[in-house]
Amino acid sequence: MKRVGKPVFFIVVLLIALFTYAAFFGISSTFGDNTTTYIKGANEIRWGIDIRGGVDVTFSPPDGVDATDAQMDSATSVIKQRLLSLNITDSEVYTDYNRDRIIVRFPWKSDEKNFDPEAAIAELGETALLTFREGINVDETTGEPTGVTKDNVILQGEDIKSAFASMNEKNQYVVVLELNESGKGKFAEATGRLVSESYPNNIISIWMDNTVISYPTVNAQITGGEATIEGDFTLEECKSLADKINAGALPFKLQTENFNTLSPTLGMGAKDAMVMAGFIAFGLIAIFMIVVYRLPGFVASIALVAQVAGTIAAITGFFPTIPSFTLTLPGIAGIILAIGIGVDANVITTERIREELRAGKTLDAAIDIGFKRGWSAIFDGNITVIIVAVVLMGAFGAPGTFFAKMFSWAFFLFGPSTAGTIYSFGYTLMVGVILNFLCGVLFSRLMLKSLSRFQCFRKAWLYGGEKA
Amino acid sequence: MIDFCGKRKIFFGISIALVLIAVLSTFIFGARLDIQFKGGSILTYSYTGDVDKAAVQNLIESTLQEKITLQEATDVASGMTNLVVSLTADKSLSSEKQTLLTDTLQQTYPDLNFQAVKINNVDPTIGKEFFGKCLMALALSALLMCIYIAFRFRKIGGWSAGAMCVLALLHDVVMVYATFILCGIAINENFIAVTMTIVGYSINATIVIYDRVRENEKLYNKTMSIAELVNKSVNQSMRRTVFTTVTTVMAMAVVCIVGLIFHLDSILSFAFPLIIGMISGLYSSTCIAPTLWASWQEHKLAKAA
């Protein structure tokens, strides 16, 4: 990087300004009632449940019950089904097979004023009520069964021995259903009666609580207590349906002694205060840098703006196709720490430039040497911070994420994490430090070298040298 | 130029004294683990109107069949006074019992409009597991950093540099711990986040100085004694170390003040120990890590001679 042209400074500043505007305010267009988002702004940040309120709960079978993996799958599928029927779409569900735990986390719904988390927890943990019903008469508004479907329950959860995914002789995926003695007779009677009916009266609908999960038609009378449900299924769909059917036959009820809820009012106050603190702190840092380091301090402040904007873009996902990332209170602390490290990168190089100037070097030589000598310290410092960030993401990331897999050898003794908040800290810290390489090193250098070509900015004093 | 190596005995003395204070205060004040780690139950209820605390306490204790403590806390966001119910024993409630309590409160005092605004209910097993995982994460990052430093600073006796760096880190972690104990803050998730931050921050400061030692070692090619080399490097990095600490402490001080104004205990209990840790990091990375490293290298030379 020998010569940097005069216009480079303005190009870099313009790019940073555009990017910062986009990251904070987003870019969208409105045609009539349709708003198309091209770039997500800071208001699209998904706040963690420690800020906007929500529920974090761990379910497990009662003490002394050692659930099988299949039973845990069934229990998980019930919870997922119920989350959907509670209209909670933004949830995370993890299953720990070793410790028989199901971790569920979901935020407060933003449009819901009277959401009752205690009732929601109770409902999620309840035993699923599985029923096989005649026909498929559904109330249009409530989605509940009506008429003969309501009145004629053919089978219940306890009549079912098990259900599993399999493949039939035509190489199609099917769900195989095995019935208990109590179910055989009832099923034989119903299938015998319905097989001669015409569609849709020959349907037997399968319900979990008040939701239809499948509605096969009866093709033959089934007397042996073993039936198959055919359809245009994928293997995944078969497994999912089998899990749900098995859930109705679970011999236990899920319990919880580990649940945390927070109402949104408590957390949102903290968020606003933290955001305010962030702005004040940033302003103070910029003033301090400019007063102490003059021109390089001014350049450093611009680079820091870019770093913060970049971090926000990494949290919102920036482009609509990239999912957003949950930001928690420790996550905000991670951003602040990353800013501190960004300041440090600029301080290291600027101090070096100052030293070289005072040792009698020319301005251009001092800037070059300053960035060159400062680099190794910045690099090693940042890499060690990245190590911390990556370990944190590995330890407290959701099971199945990249870093969690990478460090599973170290944390296998401990169950999957319920603390998503620390993960957020690791993420913002890592993103901030990576951006620091780009902003604190590359952008600062481009801007400073470009500015130093202007005659009015060639005084050594502006860079920390002695006053001429 | 400050003669850091010449004063190292004073520095070591101060640090040992500080660590001793931390250990002593643990025995005097006791370390309190937060319910996130030890398990337990804290329920926060909002209400309107006046409440007879003694009667409510009796009602809760008879409903839950557990001993509790009852405190009032003001929620700054809404300006309302909340009741904070904590189980005295380190155990968690089942969701049925907790729901029963809410129902009982609402039925007994229909006018007060009791609502559970915050529930922290942690199963002791899960809490202990979480704590273990945090400590493991801490140990693992210390180990990985030690390996990295040993590799990058192999020219200046890598393992000794790495080990001294980690020792300085431990010093800072103890200082953060002492802050929690002396301020009466329970060891919680914030403690882990602060510790991790300080680990990253302090190692950064130490590395800047090691980097200077590495550079000067090459520049002066063993014409300097180890003490001279360390003194020169620390002094050259002094302005950077101080200014960086000033800016970051300033940023955290703003967070601290905002937390104080808005009574955000969780933020305050994060920001204040962080400031102490940063100051401790400034001290340990200039006065402890390089001088310890010098002592180690001198000892090695003396043995070789």
Confidence category of residue B76, pLDDT binned at 50, 70, 90: low
Whether A77 contacts A214, CB under 8 Å: no
Chain A residues with CB-CB distance to B113 below 8 A: none
Residue B187 has pLDDT above 70, yes or no: yes
Whether A37 contacts A320, CB under 8 Å: yes
User: Does a structural domain hold residue B73?
Assistant: yes
Residues 6+ apart with CB under 8 A from B207: A377, A380, A381, A384, B149, B165
- What CATH number does domain A7-45+263-463 carry, 3.20.20.70, 3.90.1150.10, 2.60.40.10, 1.20.1640.10? 1.20.1640.10
- In angstroms, the separation between the Cα of residue B165 and the nearest Cα of chain A is 12
Residue B120 touches partner A, C-beta closer than 8 Å: yes
Chain-centre distance of CA A111, in angstroms? 20
Residue A85 has pLDDT above 70, yes or no: yes
- In angstroms, the separation between the Cα of residue B144 and the nearest Cα of chain A is 7
> Measuring CA to CA, which residue among A393, A465, A316, A448 is closest to residue A4?
A448
Q: From CA A451, how far away is CA A444, in angstroms rounded?
A: 11
Interface of B with A in 279-298 (CB under 8 A): none
Confidence category of residue A1, pLDDT binned at 50, 70, 90: low
- Arithmetic mean of pLDDT, B12-23: 93
Whether B70 contacts B53, CB under 8 Å: yes
Q: From CA A435, how far away is CA A417, in angstroms rounded?
A: 27
pLDDT, tens digit (0-9, with 9 covering 90-100), for A354-385: 999 988 889 889 999 999 988 988 998 899 88
Mutate to test the interface with A, among B45, B138, B189, B195 (most CBs of A within 10 A): B189
Residue intervals in chain A for CATH 1.20.1640.10 = 7-45+263-463
Q: From CA B155, how far away is CA B40, in angstroms rounded?
A: 51
Chain A residues with CB-CB distance to B94 below 8 A: 255-257
In the sheet that holds A211-214, the strands lie side by side as: A153-156, A130-134, A204-208, A211-214
Residue A185 has pLDDT above 70, yes or no: yes
Which domain CATH number covers B117?
A: 3.30.70.100
- Arithmetic mean of pLDDT, A422-426: 84
Sign of CA dihedral B259, B261, B265, B269: positive
Residue B119 touches partner A, C-beta closer than 8 Å: yes
Confidence category of residue A16, pLDDT binned at 50, 70, 90: very high
- Tell me which chain A residue has its CA closest to the CA of residue B195: A388
Residue B130 touches partner A, C-beta closer than 8 Å: yes
Residue A66 has pLDDT above 80, yes or no: yes
Residues 6+ apart with CB under 8 A from A96: A102, A103, A399, A415, A416
Per-residue pLDDT at A415: 67
User: Does a structural domain hold residue B2?
Assistant: no
User: What distance, in Å, lies between the first and last C-alpha atoms of chain B?
Assistant: 30
Residues 6+ apart with CB under 8 A from A33: none
Which of A264 and A341 is assigned the larger pLDDT? Answer: A341
- Arithmetic mean of pLDDT, B20-34: 88
- The residue among B122, B140, B170 that closes a domain is B122
User: Does a structural domain hold residue B270?
Assistant: yes
Cis peptide before A200 (omega within 30 of 0): yes
- The residue among B106, B122, B138 that closes a domain is B122
Say yes or no: B47 and B148 in one domain. Answer: no
The secondary element (H helix, E strand) that includes residue A60 is strand A54-60
Per-residue pLDDT at B78: 61
Q: What is the residue range of B14's domain? A: 8-35+126-304
Q: From CA A345, how far away is CA A158, in angstroms rounded?
A: 66
Chain B residues with CB-CB distance to A276 below 8 A: 258
> The tokens of A226 are what?
């073993």
- In angstroms, the separation between the Cα of residue A377 and the nearest Cα of chain B is 5
pLDDT, tens digit (0-9, with 9 covering 90-100), for A312-330: 998 888 777 777 788 887 7
> The tokens of A454 are what?
């202007």
Residues 6+ apart with CB under 8 A from B221: none
DSSP-derived pairing of the beta strands A326-327 and A46-47: parallel
- How many residue pairs bridge chain A and chain B with CB atoms within 8 Å of each other? 232
Say yes or no: B182 and B288 in one domain. Answer: yes
Say yes or no: B221 and B89 in one domain. Answer: no
Residue B270 touches partner A, C-beta closer than 8 Å: yes
Residue A95 pairs in a beta bridge with A102
pLDDT, tens digit (0-9, with 9 covering 90-100), for B226-276: 899 999 999 999 998 999 899 889 888 988 898 888 877 777 888 899 999
Which of A143 and B27 is assigned the larger pLDDT? Answer: B27
- In angstroms, the separation between the Cα of residue B171 and the nearest Cα of chain A is 17
Say yes or no: B115 and B137 in one domain. Answer: no
Say yes or no: B77 and B195 in one domain. Answer: no
- In angstroms, the separation between the Cα of residue A360 and the nearest Cα of chain B is 16
Residue B196 touches partner A, C-beta closer than 8 Å: yes
Say yes or no: B198 and B225 in one domain. Answer: yes
User: Does a structural domain hold residue B182?
Assistant: yes
Q: From CA B239, how far away is CA B133, in angstroms rounded?
A: 38
Per-residue pLDDT at B284: 94
Confidence category of residue A417, pLDDT binned at 50, 70, 90: low
Average per-residue pLDDT for chain A: 83
Whether A205 contacts A212, CB under 8 Å: yes
Say yes or no: B105 and B155 in one domain. Answer: no
Per-residue pLDDT at A167: 85
Whether B117 contacts B45, CB under 8 Å: yes
Q: From CA B85, how far away is CA B96, in angstroms rounded?
A: 16
Residue A212 pairs in a beta bridge with A207
Q: Domain count for chain B, please give it.
A: 2
User: Does a structural domain hold residue B3?
Assistant: no
Rounded to 5 degrees, what are φ and ψ at B229? -60, -50
Block residue for tokens 């004629």: A152
Block residue for tokens 């129902």: B103
Contact A425 B136 (CB under 8 A): no
- Arithmetic mean of pLDDT, A420-432: 84
How many CA atoms, within 13 angstroms, populate the side-chain half-sphere of residue A28? Answer: 20
> The tokens of A249 are what?
């036959």
∠ Cα A440 A441 A447 (to 5°): 85
Could you tell me how many helices (H) and strands (E) chain A has, helices first?
14, 15
Residue A167 touches partner B, C-beta closer than 8 Å: no
Per-residue pLDDT at A249: 73
In this prediction, what percent of chain B has a pLDDT beyond 90? 22
Q: SS3 for A160?
A: strand
User: Does a structural domain hold residue B111?
Assistant: yes
Contact B129 A263 (CB under 8 A): no
- The residue among B122, B154, B181 that closes a domain is B122
Which of A119 and B275 is assigned the larger pLDDT? Answer: B275
Whether A301 contacts B247, CB under 8 Å: no
Say yes or no: B141 and B110 in one domain. Answer: no
Confidence category of residue A235, pLDDT binned at 50, 70, 90: confident
> The tokens of A306 are what?
């870019």
Question: Which stretches of A150-278 are assigned E, i.e. beta strand?
Answer: 153-156, 160-167, 173-179, 204-208, 211-214, 226-233, 255-262
Buried b vs exposed e over A295-305: b needs ≥16 C-beta within 10 Å? bbbbbbbbbbb
In this prediction, what percent of chain A has a pLDDT beyond 70? 95
- In angstroms, the separation between the Cα of residue B124 and the nearest Cα of chain A is 9
- Tell me which chain A residue has its CA closest to the CA of residue B238: A351
Q: SS3 for B191?
A: helix
- In angstroms, the separation between the Cα of residue A389 and the nearest Cα of chain B is 9
Q: Is B80 exposed, middle or buried (0-12, 13-18, 19+ CB in 10 A)?
A: middle
Confidence category of residue B44, pLDDT binned at 50, 70, 90: confident
- Arithmetic mean of pLDDT, A5-18: 90
Average per-residue pLDDT for chain B: 87
Interface of A with B in 115-134 (CB under 8 A): 117-119, 121-122, 125
Residue B17 touches partner A, C-beta closer than 8 Å: no
> The tokens of A467 are what?
């006053």
A54-262 has CATH 3.40.50.300 classification: no
Chain B residues with CB-CB distance to A383 below 8 A: 148
